[in-house]
Amino acid sequence: MPRAILNPHVRLCFTAIFALLVMGLTPAAGMPRCPPQNELLAKAEIVVEARVKSLSIGESGLLLTDNFPTRMVRADLEIKRVIKGKFPGREAIVYGTLYPPGPFRELTTMAIAYGFDGRDTFEWELSRNEIGNDIALFSMNACSYHKFPDWVVAPL
């Protein structure tokens, strides 16, 4: 047997990877669950029908504390129509931290389906988060309303 496999650190890494694959990257059981989507829709201020033009994970460029991860998820949305509230733009950028990233699996599927026969739109709440004086961003991490097509949503 190769010597690297016998190394306890390598075996620990293989075990951790296997455990993540089996469990999936889901929020911890101790975290509070989000309210049902119909309640989130009632509380939402801005809801749009959108398409994912691009989806990426990379360094945020933010100057944060040493213990805070600097990588973020970025989704560039093309706004097809405003369903609720007012939003003058035709595009929006939504940011999220890597864990928990919100409905990342569904956003990935929608990014792949961009331009696919009119089945690439979904409903999304533009949840504005203030991060400073006159500075805000749209977040995907908070409990926010979203509705994806049935073919995108994975069974639980």
The mean pLDDT value for 64-80 works out to 83
The token duo for 54 is 């691009």
The mean pLDDT value for 127-141 works out to 83
pLDDT digits (tens, 9 = 90+) for 92-102: 999 887 666 57
**Nearest-angstrom CA–CA distance, 154 and 133:** 39
Q: Where are the alpha helices (DSSP H) in the chain?
A: 3-6, 8-23, 37-43, 104-112
Residues 6+ apart with CB under 8 A from 37: 145, 146, 147
The token duo for 79 is 């706004």
Instruction: Say what the pLDDT of residue 19 is.
Output: 60
CB 103 within 8 A of CB 116: no
28 or 63, higher pLDDT: 63
The mean pLDDT value for 34-54 works out to 93
pLDDT digits (tens, 9 = 90+) for 8-30: 766 776 676 666 555 555 555 55
**Nearest-angstrom CA–CA distance, 43 and 34:** 13
Instruction: Say what the pLDDT of residue 154 is.
Output: 59
Q: Which amino acid is at 87?
A: F
The mean pLDDT value for 58-83 works out to 84
Instruction: Say what the pLDDT of residue 13 is.
Output: 66
Name the pTM for this structure: 0.72
